[in-house]
Structure 1
């Protein structure tokens, strides 16, 4: 759930995601639809049985989806902050999560995220709305420290960690 944690998602962003993932438009996310969303965000390590055990029901309305998002976010934040004993494990887990998330956005696998790739993924997640003024080129330019017009992994990592603060 790193993508969800590190990007500042508003309730309206989550509503758009919910509606995009609710393929049949019935106002509920089936476990299959929820699993598809998790796979789209690079979190495909859940089976349908694990999801059912986690959410304790077969479908989620929007309110339950918000609760699911909040509980997963809090769980991740608690792991990062509270981390028991090992010290280095949290940093390594964060780095691994960032690599997975980077790969979600790096659609062509060339090691860089372009504004077109960023826009494409945001559209796929239902988070792109031109009327909201979200401009991927501006986002890329803001974090593009070497001014090549795209984000390498280190620039992406800086963006994700700065946006979380």
Structure 2
């Protein structure tokens, strides 16, 4: 695994601390199950056990911060190829005009189960819309992955 910057390590530490609900310094099977449920991930007891087992490299029965960091760092800080980002952009840009409109963003978020108010949609568009034209271009979308 590549060396993490202090800020990346802190991001992972903050995430770990959210999941370690009893502040024991370890994520238990029960905490992992609650985490998955909070993320709307339906997992059977055996699936939770398999995930725990994969992350628990010292076979202690729970996940300490170093195990969490080793399991999460690569996907958490992965750099995406331009092709991967373009594929994601195309899923949002339903009409294929090269931009993500407020309506397209609303539709995709709705399909993901996240219903945003018009105010939330506009705030999201505004935060990404660097040239302030009211829509998100591919280059503006790419900034999410830098």
- TM-score when scaled to structure 1? 0.44
The answer to which structure, 1 or 2, has the higher relative contact order (CA under 8 A, 6+ apart) is: 1
Which has the greater radius of gyration?
A: 2
